[in-house]
Structure 1
Amino acid sequence: MEDHRADGLLPVTVLAGFLGSGKTTLLNHVLRNAGEHRIAVIVNDMSEVNIDADLIRDADVTRTDETMVELSNGCICCTLREDLLVEVRRLAEAGKFDYILIEGTGIAEPLPIAASFSFKDEEGRSLRDISRLDTMVSVVDAANLLKDFSSQDLLSDRGEVRDDEDQRSLIDLLVDQIEFADVVVINKASEVSADELAEIRKTIKSLNIDAKLIETDFGKVELSEILDTKLYSEAKAATHPLWHKELYSPAEHIPETEEYGIASFVYRARRPFDPEKFYAFTQRKWDGLLRAKGHFWLATRKDWIGLYSVAGTQTKVDQRGFWWASVPRTYWPRQQQFQAMLQRYWTATWGDRRQELVFIGVNLPKEEISAALDACLSGSETGIDAREVAEMRDPFPEWVRHDHAAA
């Protein structure tokens, strides 16, 4: 048997996916076909009774309490993080296993789970000392993905929330789970038509161009596709989303977008948006638009960085922090890297304030979207008159400064 701990670190695969996508079915398939793999399983469930753990026990798989750990009545990406740290460490130090599979709850976001492996306890210990994240897997339900992606439902509408303050939408969760994945398993693929399957591929690739796609039924995947792939990279994980690549690596050519018929472009400008005109723009729906994200600034809120995000039919506008031009220089970082970044974006008129919005979709009306955004611009290249700003109507909700807000 191949030694998966040759580097001394226990490899870990994390399974994410919304309720009904088939995570537990996939997990059972892996366990039934584990062969000589010695796999320990951590199953997380929000309820007091861990239903997924019961389903694994009921399956025709020989398991023992020693190889399966239940983390119930909470989510491992927040309230049960300490429990996750303890259990992974215990399993790694036991020396009995060559792999760990973690099945998150249906509403778990992969990124906080991955971050747990970098977290250091009071003694300075980290899970990275004894284990390594190997693969982040997201399972999607082919029969429902397109419908869910066009939904306006909150997770609370589906009866699934992290706590009483959980206001996430279903699209928020699906996007987070797909954008952070190394592998996306399109489960129940035979339940949709060839055209629908093509749309599903485009939707996933519009969120994460690097993700490896596996189309299957009943969670049947080759173990080598999700175990010991060495696909996960902490540095790369932050740049998985296609919007990030387009916005921050404009020179990078991504030929796969052509294969899937996905087009993208970045809108850039320096002048501020008229808030009423830009608000009207955010209410419009554009044919073929699958994803949009970026930052902007309004003439009436010259200190604030605005965040614009579109996923499916859902549009969000919020504040992200403050432009460095509005922050006293005594608070600016002194690192050379920061100085180089600021110099790249700085102008005498606007400082680092700018509009940068990326749009991704199929058959995007680029010229029409760009013209609509141009029409939102106010002032001139040399500045904007304060009297003009004073007469503007600003329909956006008030932005409140948070302690963690930063430029």
Structure 2
Amino acid sequence: MSVPVVIVSGMHPEPRSALVSRLLARHPGSVAIHHDLREVSAGRVGRVVRDTSGTLDLREVRLAHGCVTCTVREDLVPELLARAGSAALLIVELWDSVEPRTVAESLARHEDTAGVLRLTGVLVALDAARATEDLCRDEPLAAHGKHAAAGDGRRVAEVLVRQIEYATHIVVSGAEEEDVELAHAVLGHLAPTTPAEAAGPALPAVTGAGIDVEMLGARVDPATARLPCDARTGEISTVVWHRLRPLHPQRLFAAVDELITGTVRSRGRFWLATRHERLLAWDAVAGVVSVEDAGPWLVTLPEAAWEMESPARRMAATLDWSSLLGDRVQHLVFTGPGLDRERILRLLDSCLLTEAEILAGSDVWAGYQDPFAAVLGLREASA
């Protein structure tokens, strides 16, 4: 019988550690493992193993290469396997800025864990007041001492969003009712299908069936993401833009700053006239935007090649399908306080090709100047 493993992540150490302690108390015989990555860039990691009685093991682990992936491969997996024979539940408490997806997929796909460990959940613990503030922080992790490797250029808001959107369950702590209510309102927009509850006696179930990391990844991957719907909760709004014309690259590029100003989060998939066959991913948090090539639109592939795509990818394409364009679509969502819905929609609509430009055809579109080419070219070269 495989041993259940639950991952607990979170940017805020106090509520994260408290959630782990509650899980340990609820499940007798459980063990928690935590890696302190403050010195990972020097190849040193502190590992703490504890149960309800206190610390069972505390030691420094030296790695050949200082990174999260190395920590999982060289120390976390062996430690989990070593304790699987005696533990009723294994809890992986992640360091502040570690994104749970990397760890979840490493555990699920490791050749030695099959039949021995089963991943049953990915929880994120949040401090209500700090969460709403951190979602607006565009500062680098290093400025807060939370970077997870040398040269870690990620930002606070970016990592917190990844933790929230990947989780299977969210637990919110807070002394002030107003903070908790605001945090729940924001979470209802960022991760509307993920259960979220205030910290209390109730705990998520973590000893049941294993979760499917492929489906979990599909929830957040740009080509298959389950994007939020139009919604408004108090001052928080989510605006959805869905169109079936290609975008003019120069007009969209000129509109980027205005589009992300005032939004906490925006994401989705879009279609540039100059890249007629490529699905592009839009990802922006706290005023910092990323645009990436996410692969071909399925309509551009021979039908036989569809079988090589994941079921989630084929389903997403089917839902977006139109007889003229296949799965090509503009689908972007913007979330933030006090958003002007009509202004966002007008601005995006002004970036679409006009009727005359549409009639000119894709051969003409290919000759448009493309300001995104430099960014996408850099990402393609580094892939």
TM-score normalized by structure 1?
Answer: 0.74
1:380–1:331 distance in 2 versus 1, CA, 3 Å: farther
Q: How does 1:88-127 map to 2 (within 5 A)?
A: 88-92=80-84, 94=85, 96-121=86-111, 125=112, 127=113
1:183–1:155 distance in 2 versus 1, CA, 3 Å: same
* Partner residue, 1:3: none
Aligned-pair CA distance for 1:108: 1.2
Q: Which whole-Å CA distance do the structure 1 matches of 2:363 and 2:239 have between them? A: 34
Q: Partner letter of residue 89 of structure 1? A: L
Q: Which whole-Å CA distance do the structure 2 matches of 1:177 and 1:99 have between them? A: 22
Q: How does 1:234-249 map to 2 (within 5 A)?
A: 234=212, 237-238=216-217, 244-246=225-227
* Partner residue, 1:213: 196
Q: Which whole-Å CA distance do the structure 2 matches of 1:286 and 1:398 have between them? A: 17
Alignment partner of 1:176 is 2:162: yes
Aligned-pair CA distance for 1:98: 0.8
* Partner residue, 2:306: 333
Deviations 1:106-143 (A, max 9, x none): 1211112211232142xxx4x24122222212122333
Say whether the 8 Å CA contact 1:309–1:315 is kept in structure 2.
yes
Q: CA RMSD for the aligned pairs? A: 4.0
Say whether the 8 Å CA contact 1:182–1:232 is kept in structure 2.
no
Q: Which whole-Å CA distance do the structure 2 matches of 1:50 and 1:340 have between them? A: 42
Q: Partner letter of residue 93 of structure 2? A: E
Deviations 1:165-222 (A, max 9, x none): 43222122101111122232223x11xx443332221222222123333434xxxx53
Q: Which whole-Å CA distance do the structure 2 matches of 1:341 and 1:226 have between them? A: 29
Alignment partner of 1:355 is 2:330: yes
Q: Which whole-Å CA distance do the structure 2 matches of 1:227 and 1:77 have between them? A: 27
Say whether the 8 Å CA contact 1:135–1:231 is kept in structure 2.
no
Which protein has the larger Cα radius of gyration, Structure 1 or Structure 2? Answer: 1
For structure 1, which runs of at least 5 residues remain unmatched after alignment?
A: 1-7
Alignment partner of 1:11 is 2:1: no
* Partner residue, 2:353: 378
Q: Which whole-Å CA distance do the structure 2 matches of 1:325 and 1:206 have between them? A: 31
Aligned-pair CA distance for 1:12: 1.6
1:358–1:323 distance in 2 versus 1, CA, 3 Å: same
Say whether the 8 Å CA contact 1:20–1:141 is kept in structure 2.
no
Q: How does 1:6-405 map to 2 (within 5 A)?
A: 8-28=1-21, 30-31=23-24, 33=25, 37-46=28-37, 47=39, 53=48, 61-65=53-57, 74=66, 76-92=68-84, 94=85, 96-121=86-111, 125=112, 127-187=113-173, 189-190=174-175, 193-216=176-199, 221-222=200-201, 225-226=203-204, 228=206, 230=208, 233-234=211-212, 237-238=216-217, 244-246=225-227, 263-285=237-259, 289-324=263-298, 329=302, 332-334=305-307, 350=325, 352-361=327-336, 364-380=339-355, 383-385=359-361, 389=365, 392-396=368-372, 397-400=374-377, 402=380
Aligned-pair CA distance for 1:91: 1.7
Q: Partner letter of residue 39 of structure 1? A: S
Q: Partner letter of residue 342 of structure 2? A: E
- SS for the counterpart of 1:53 is strand
1:346–1:146 distance in 2 versus 1, CA, 3 Å: closer
Q: How many pairs are equivalent?
A: 369
Q: Which whole-Å CA distance do the structure 2 matches of 1:155 and 1:267 have between them? A: 31
- SS for the counterpart of 1:111 is helix
Stretch moving more, 135-144 or 278-287: 278-287
Say whether the 8 Å CA contact 1:11–1:100 is kept in structure 2.
yes
Aligned-pair CA distance for 1:16: 0.7
Aligned-pair CA distance for 1:277: 1.4
